[in-house]
Amino acid sequence: MNKLVFVALLLTNACLSHGQKSESDMNNDQKSEKTDTDWKAVLTPEQYNICFMKGTEAPGSGKYNKFFKPGYYKCVACGARLFDSATKYDSGSGWPSFYDMHSKSGLAFHKDTNYGMMRTEVLCARCGSHLGHVFDDGPKPTGLRYCINSLALEFVPDKEQ
């Protein structure tokens, strides 16, 4: 039985491999080892609630919901680059929405069955902070809607030329 589990894990890892990684992917792979005390020292109570208590902000209340400037969005907790402004759109959901992620290694996903719903939770792959959820009702080309809490993000504007 142990051999079967080992083979299953090996095959799963091979299927999830994304080949060569860019420099930003490698930066996202540096796992954070902070404690709850460490996170509470660097995040506001509201950010901590979203990121590590899996809270959510009220629809329409987030600072990035109707925000459309060129740049990118990083994890407020650890600084990993998560989304690019070119993939942000107004979904009408009340939360910042993106149709694609910056890199496949930047996000992790978890089945979420809370509140009697079947959803896919989106987490920062580096630090494990809760970002929001992803749904399959987004625009082309991906058909996905990454519905993300503003409090879990920090915007980095494009540098002026």
* pLDDT tens profile 63-117: 999 999 999 999 999 999 999 999 999 999 999 999 999 999 999 999 999 889 9
From 156, 102, 99, 153, select the one nearest 131 (Cα to Cα): 153
Is 147 a catalytic site residue?
yes
Task: Take residue 108 and report the two structure tokens written for it.
Answer: 């992790």
- Candidates 51, 75, 78, 147; catalytic one: 147
Residue pair 158/138 in contact by the 8 Å Cβ criterion = no
pLDDT at 160 (0 to 100):
56
Residue pair 78/31 in contact by the 8 Å Cβ criterion = no
pLDDT at 31 (0 to 100):
57
What CA–CA distance (Å, rounded) separates 72 from 86? 8
pLDDT at 115 (0 to 100):
85
* pLDDT tens profile 24-59: 333 444 556 788 899 999 999 999 999 999 999 999
| Identity of the amino acid at 104 | K
| Identity of the amino acid at 148 | I
Residue pair 112/134 in contact by the 8 Å Cβ criterion = no
119: β partners: 112
What CA–CA distance (Å, rounded) separates 125 from 52? 13
Domains of the chain: 33-157 (2.170.150.20)
